[in-house]
Amino acid sequence: MSVSEKVKALLEKIPLFEMATIDNDGMPQIRPMGSKVVENNFVLFISSFAKARKVDQIKKHSNCQLYFHTPDYQAWFTFSGTAEIIEDQPTKTAYYSKFAKIGEYFSSDKDPNYGLIRFKTKKIELMEGMAMKPEVLEIK
């Protein structure tokens, strides 16, 4: 099974993940995330609060990393890439209904607190079991 196939299968089983951004001091800031939609070439759309610190951090430093792991920690992987804040209302509307439980956080796709992040993956590193070296997938 290819790295791409393994990661796609694992993503279906992992509801939560962590996102690392870079703050104004150049330090990483990591937080848990939940709502994601995975598109072709591992482009992810992620819901967020529009005024969250990560939004300003992404606007200033687009390089980010996402970290996923299975509940038993037998597999874990990172997505390294760039993130951007989506301000386009038709795009925000198109993705709003694709997020599970989004209604618990935002009243609608036009809620001023609803934000949308597009993450473009450039590299995936997958570790499984006792592997000491990751399997790597570069994405063009």
Q: Residue 3: its pLDDT value, please?
A: 94
- pLDDT given at position 24: 94
Q: List the domain range (segments joined by +) for residue 97.
A: 3-138
CA gyration radius, the chain: 15
Which pLDDT does position 77 carry in this prediction?
A: 96
Domain count, the chain: 1
Which CATH number characterizes residue 101's domain?
2.30.110.10
Please give the pLDDT value at position 100: 86
Residue type (1 letter), 77: F
Is residue 58 predicted with pLDDT exceeding 90? yes
Task: Decide if 103 contacts 87 (C-beta within 8 A).
Answer: no
CA distances from 72 to 69, 86, 131 (A): 8, 34, 15
Exposure of 107 by Cβ count < 10 A (0-12 exposed, 13-18 middle, 19+ buried)? Answer: exposed
Euclidean distance between CA atoms 80 and 87, whole angstroms: 22
Provide the whole-model pTM. 0.94
pLDDT tops 90 at residue 130? no
Tell me the one-letter amino acid at 93: T
For residues 24-50, average pLDDT: 95
The rounded distance, in Å, linking the Cα atoms of 27 and 32 is 17
What would the pLDDT profile of 65-119 be if each residue is shown by its tens digit? 999 999 999 999 999 999 999 999 999 999 999 998 899 999 999 999 999 999 9
